[in-house]
Amino acid sequence: MPGNGMNMPLKQHLIDPEICIRCYTCEMTCPIGAIEHDDTNVVVNPDICNSCMDCIPVCPTGSIDEWRVVAKPYSLEDQYGWEELPDQEDLGTDEASTGLEALDAEMAALLAEAHQGAGGKARAPASAAKPAINTYTIGKPAVARVQGNYRLTDDPGHDVRHIILDLEGLPFAVLEGQSIGVIPPGTDAQGRPHLPRLYSISSPRDGERAQYNNLSLTVKREENGLCSNYICDLEKGAELRITGPFGATFLLPGDPEARLLMICTGTGAAPMRAFTMRRQRTVGGKSGGMTMFFGARAPESLPYFGPLSKVPRELLDQHLVYSRHGKKEYVQDRILAERAKVADLLVDPKTHIYICGLRGMEAGVEQALTDIAGSIGQPWTGLRDTMREAGRYHVETY
């Protein structure tokens, strides 16, 4: 913790329990084990945290970016007991305020570095619009109304839904690639309200229907999934509580000349649909182009199979790949089969890569890109780091 000298106020790193969705990404990212959790909260150990900032850019909600200047640090026990963050205490002395200013400058520098993606962390495309984040929180969620709930798949054991939410006049600005939280009703075994679950928005910024204040989600019914079953069973007209929006890096470049290489499986197609619709409504076929590798079990379990067939090829070059229909094929197999096309994209500084879907595909896709990049004399890790630094490489897997 910086400023940990004698008689100095301390700047303590904390997590906002009202906004945190308990995804534990920060805990997994922290290189020194300073973050831990119990059944209630995710907390930062003041004795370990060295404010390295590695956890800041990976948090999908921004709840990680909380700081208090304290005379004595809040203990782990204090933090586990919180339902909301305490206000900044008034330290009140000249010494404290001098210390505060010095610490603020120090922290501002560290935070600026973290937000710029130091150490190769995710960055937004340079030409992306600036996203709104956390407009609605667990404490103050928005209430949306279900405008439509449509089944997207014909496979009986694989229920994926297109859910349209009407925001009914509420200001809820979103960008393609962002997510929202959905709060399932009821309480857990300890009687506490359920926490929100994150879902990618699958519609563009101006609405599922242009100029309507609505948005859509692509939700797969998971066996025993509390929130996915709740959403998939919602009837038209039902109200639900939502939070967000979240996500500040997996965004569409505003530059119409940018070329997009989109690699997804299953419901990972949601942001790709939003990107495609945005381009269709704004630049159409005159954009830099979009190439998609989309993996599903079979045509009947590929979300948006019908609508995709109507998207013009000059806007979206589609490679639909099936693992349980004919010869088993994964996205990485098709990427390798289309190596000339992919190599052409990899060497172009206007190319942005988006990977979204099953965590398991990441290794296979990386391997395929390593193979192709290597074969054209561009070692993949270097190329990937350059792309990430420039906000041109984006991964969201689960």
Determine the size of the site formed for ligand A2P (CB under 6 A).
Answer: 15
**Smallest gap from residue 265 Cβ to ligand A2P (A):** 4
Determine phi and psi for 181, rounding to 5 degrees: -100, 145
Do 391 and 298 form a contact (C-beta atoms < 8 A)? no
Stretch that binds ligand A2P, among 6-14, 76-84, 280-288, 358-366 (CB under 6 A): 358-366
Rounded to a whole number, what is the largest CA-CA distance in the chain?
74
By the rule CB under 6 A, 254 interacts with ligand A2P? no
Stretch that binds ligand A2P, among 125-133, 208-216, 282-290, 292-300 (CB under 6 A): 292-300
- Considering only 122, 146, 358, 376, the residue that binds ligand A2P (CB under 6 A) is 358
By the rule CB under 6 A, 205 interacts with ligand A2P? no
Where do the DSSP E strands lie in the chain?
10-14, 35-37, 42-44, 66-70, 142-151, 160-166, 179-183, 197-200, 214-220, 239-246, 259-265, 290-296, 316-322, 351-357, 393-397
Q: List C-alpha distances in Å: 349 to 61, 286, 306.
A: 30, 18, 33
H runs (alpha helix) in the chain: 25-29, 76-80, 94-115, 226-232, 269-282, 305-309, 331-337, 339-346, 361-375, 380-389
**Smallest gap from residue 149 Cβ to ligand A2P (A):** 18
Stretch that binds ligand A2P, among 231-239, 244-252, 354-362, 389-397 (CB under 6 A): 354-362
- Which of 111, 298 has the CB closer to ligand A2P? 298
Angle between helices 380-389 and 361-375 (to 10 degrees): 110
**Smallest gap from residue 221 Cβ to ligand A2P (A):** 11
By the rule CB under 6 A, 296 interacts with ligand A2P? yes
In angstroms, the CA 274 to CA 216 distance is 9
For residues 88-117, which are near ligand A2P according to CB under 6 A? none
Binding mask 301-340 vs ligand A2P (x if CB under 6 A, - otherwise)? Answer: x---------------------xx-----xxx--------
Strand pairing of 290-296 and 10-14? unpaired
- Which of 230, 322 has the CB closer to ligand A2P? 322
- Which of 158, 241 has the CB closer to ligand A2P? 158
- Which of 106, 300 has the CB closer to ligand A2P? 300
**Smallest gap from residue 268 Cβ to ligand A2P (A):** 8
Stretch that binds ligand A2P, among 13-21, 115-123, 284-292, 294-302 (CB under 6 A): 294-302
- Is the alpha carbon torsion for 337, 341, 346, 350 positive or negative? negative
- Which of 100, 270 has the CB closer to ligand A2P? 270
**Smallest gap from residue 229 Cβ to ligand A2P (A):** 16
For residues 264-283, which are near ligand A2P according to CB under 6 A? 265-266
Output the DSSP codes for 267-288. Answer: GGHHHHHHHHHHHHHHTGGGSS
Give me 52's structure tokens: 């390295």
Q: List C-alpha distances in Å: 226 to 42, 53, 197, 376.
A: 21, 33, 9, 47
- Which of 34, 296 has the CB closer to ligand A2P? 296
**Smallest gap from residue 219 Cβ to ligand A2P (A):** 12
Do 35 and 26 form a contact (C-beta atoms < 8 A)? yes
- Contacts with ligand A2P, residue ranges (CB under 6 A): 265-266, 295-297, 301, 323-324, 330-332, 358, 360-361, 364
